Amino acid sequence: MKKVLITRKLLRSCEDKASKLFNPHFNSNDEQYSQKKLIELSKGCDGILSSLTDKIDKETIEKLPATIKIISNFAVGFGNIDIEAAKKRNIIVTNTPDVLTDATAEIAMLLILGACRRANEGMEWVKKENWKWSADFLIGKQLTGSRLGILGMGRIGRALAKIAKSFGMEIHYRNRTKLNNDKEMGATFHDNIKSLFSVSDVLSICCPATKETKDIINKETLEYFPTGAIITNVARGDMIDDEAMVQALVSRKIYAVGLDVYKGEPKIHPEYLKQPTAFILPHLGSATKKTRTAMADLAIDNIDKYFKTGNAKNKVN
């Protein structure tokens, strides 16, 4: 049986599945492997089932043993892996698309609701046990009739649009290409971010992390938004210039922010924690049993198919 290094602990049913197909090396303590340890543990292995928390950069890939033929990433993204370096070593890289769409769209909607309705402030008042109801207590923003801008109208963006429409939101989006009418579902396409941001009462960032999207929310682009806009992010932390965002919150240019992802996870820019209108979650996008099981099963299937056929269904390089 092929030997596979599984870098993080999986749900029990998924580890049982892997045991039937491979000779797996499990991470029973679910520790975060250093790059040095990952390289050491991969010796004698034929493949790696990695996690988004594993930094598999060019230096790491160049030091992997020649036996490694596939890296199956337990994530929809693959920004933690140097794709070109893997390609040069003829190492296949795969990911787990599709299966986490609905779960992540739910969290995107939760961020919108939490930021708009001042959930973070509300929870703090509950803990104090001394709040008093009044007509103007914690007045927030209602979603009905507001404009939702979606940056990246892929699977997650479209799933979010469907949910948001049921709240009476008007959908606008920016994508690399305009969608056909069936996928667009009545949403308005914008061919540049300035146009999209200027009509976004609420923005949800759902696009992939690329060189072009790094710090796409910055001091300049924040000025495009209507005063009092809300910005949320379920994509990657690299999309937001944190210093600029904090200043926009302080100045009230931006009403609130909702983040499920941020730079330096689990560390966060300390100023966010001082902002009462920052509604922040610890990367819960795919955190349901159904979705995490489906992700792990797909990552396992990607390896199994490659070993059996030489092809990988969800190949990204």
Could you give the residue numbers annotated as active site? 236, 265, 283
Strands of the chain (E only): list them. 3-6, 23-25, 47-51, 70-74, 92-94, 147-151, 170-174, 188-190, 202-205, 229-233, 254-259, 278-280
Burial 73-111 (b: 16+ CB within 10 A, else e): bbbbbbeebbbebbeeeebbbbbbbebbbbbbbbbbbbb
Strand order in the sheet with 23-25: 23-25, 3-6, 47-51, 70-74, 92-94
> Per the structure block, which two tokens stand in for 226?
């209507």
d(CA 282, CA 295): 18
CA-to-CA dists, residue 103 to 114, 213, 297, angstroms: 16, 23, 16
